[in-house]
């Protein structure tokens, strides 16, 4: 496994739509493992492949609650949403920036697991928020484009 470089604000790849994965093979599984390691090294909740410079529809999520296993999804699609709430978000590609966005309170996502098997995940609360955020990345959308005007905060890490 390896920690990969995270693409940050201003990198044009973050605005590109990721491509479907045709075959979930060992190369894809290595990428997924690297993404989990990179996410954990940065204390992130989620990471999309585009954030490490790979335009493939892959995401990983860990909400660190000891009940929800690490989510690893290939070709994820939101098939159903429920409710809406205003939540604060940050992003590893936008270090030290936080803003409020509107997200569904529950999402149902279908995709493939790391073995290429079809799976369905129902996420509520933080997991729903993370799934929506990472799937946005796969569509070339970033949270600052969806933020509620006037809610952007920039935190200076030295303070």
User: Binning pLDDT at 50, 70 and 90, where does residue 159 land?
Assistant: low
Distance (Å) of CA 101 to CA 76, 85, 120: 21, 8, 25
Distance in Å from the first CA to the final CA of the chain = 34
Q: CA–CA separation, 26 vs 1, rounded Å?
A: 12
pLDDT above 70: percentage of residues in the chain: 99
Tell me the pTM: 0.96
* Mean of pLDDT values over 142-158: 92
User: Binning pLDDT at 50, 70 and 90, where does residue 116 land?
Assistant: very high
Active-site position among 12, 134, 158, 159: 134
Is the CB of residue 50 less than 8 Å from the CB of residue 15?
Answer: no
Domain residue extents for the chain = 12-154
- Is the domain spanning 12-154 CATH 3.90.45.10? The answer is yes
Residue 131: the pLDDT is: 98
Is the CB of residue 76 less than 8 Å from the CB of residue 59?
Answer: yes
Q: Tell me, yes or no, if 134 is annotated catalytic.
A: yes
* Mean of pLDDT values over 148-157: 92
Is the CB of residue 146 less than 8 Å from the CB of residue 136?
Answer: yes
């Amino acid at each position: 496994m390896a920690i990969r470089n995270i693409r940050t604000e201003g990198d044009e790849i973050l605005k590109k739509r990721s491509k479907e994965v045709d075959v979930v093979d060992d190369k894809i599984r290595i990428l997924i493992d690297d993404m989990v390691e990179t996410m954990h090294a940065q204390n992130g909740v989620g990471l999309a492949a585009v954030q490490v410079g790979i335009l493939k529809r892959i995401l990983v999520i860990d909400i660190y609650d000891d009940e929800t296993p690490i989510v690893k999804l290939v070709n994820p699609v939101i098939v159903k949403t429920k409710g809406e709430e205003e939540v604060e978000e940050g992003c590893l590609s936008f270090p030290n920036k936080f803003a409020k966005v509107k997200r569904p309170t529950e999402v149902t996502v279908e995709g493939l697991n790391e073995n290429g098997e079809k799976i369905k995940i129902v996420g509520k609360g933080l997991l729903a928020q993370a799934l929506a955020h990472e799937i946005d990345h796969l569509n070339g959308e970033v949270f600052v484009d969806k933020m509620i005007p006037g809610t952007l905060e920039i935190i200076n890490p030295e303070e």
